[in-house]
């Protein structure tokens, strides 16, 4: 018994599937473009050396092509704001910081570096515990959060609150 539904041919199905994959790839690429500036902003805790030994610094770097705005570096554990920068131009800034008059305790971590073409080099470096989180606004006004594991998330604002609470449900 033949069905009255025409399911098309294999080339039609392959074409439809290819279009679907291409659309998903395009959408993913657009999301990557949007988060590009945020992905080029980094922050960490560094220890001082020489005359600054025993001091701790928040280091913030912007490796993008445009400045970042309203940058807040927060302690990942407590959420305490360690550093606020109204405008972060391309480059690096550092500022001494204390956490509620407490020090961070450095831990040693081995990092393997692969400098081409010479082979493998192991480097001992100091890392701070806990890490920091970053909040920023990019040059197009989009707000971002970067957690201590470098996961980048777009912040969605409820703009109804700007209207004096109109439209908010209680």
Contacting residues for 60 by C-beta, under 8 A, at least 6 apart: 41, 42, 43, 71, 73, 83, 85, 88, 92, 93, 94, 134
pLDDT digits (tens, 9 = 90+) for 43-65: 888 878 888 887 888 889 888 88
pLDDT at 87 over 90: yes
Residue 3 — very low, low, confident or very high, per pLDDT cuts 50/70/90? low
The percent of residues in the chain predicted with pLDDT above 70, rounded, is 62
Mean pLDDT of the chain: 75
Residue 85: pLDDT above 70? yes
């Amino acid at each position: 018994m033949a069905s009255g539904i025409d399911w098309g041919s294999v080339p039609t199905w392959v074409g439809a599937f290819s279009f679907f994959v291409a659309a998903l790839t395009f959408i993913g690429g657009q999301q990557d473009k949007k988060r590009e500036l945020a992905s080029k902003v980094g922050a960490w805790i560094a220890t001082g050396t020489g005359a600054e030994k025993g001091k701790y610094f928040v280091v913030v770097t912007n490796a993008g092509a445009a400045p970042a705005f309203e940058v807040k570096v927060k302690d990942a554990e407590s959420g305490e704001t360690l550093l606020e920068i109204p405008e972060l131009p391309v480059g690096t800034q550092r500022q001494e910081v204390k956490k509620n008059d407490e020090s961070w305790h450095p831990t040693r971590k081995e990092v393997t570096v692969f400098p081409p073409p010479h082979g493998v080099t192991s480097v001992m470096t100091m890392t701070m515990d806990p890490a920091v989180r970053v909040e920023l606004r990019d040059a197009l006004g989009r707000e971002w959060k970067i957690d201590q594991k470098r996961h980048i998330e777009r912040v969605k604002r409820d703009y109804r609150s700007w209207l004096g609470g109109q439209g908010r449900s209680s």
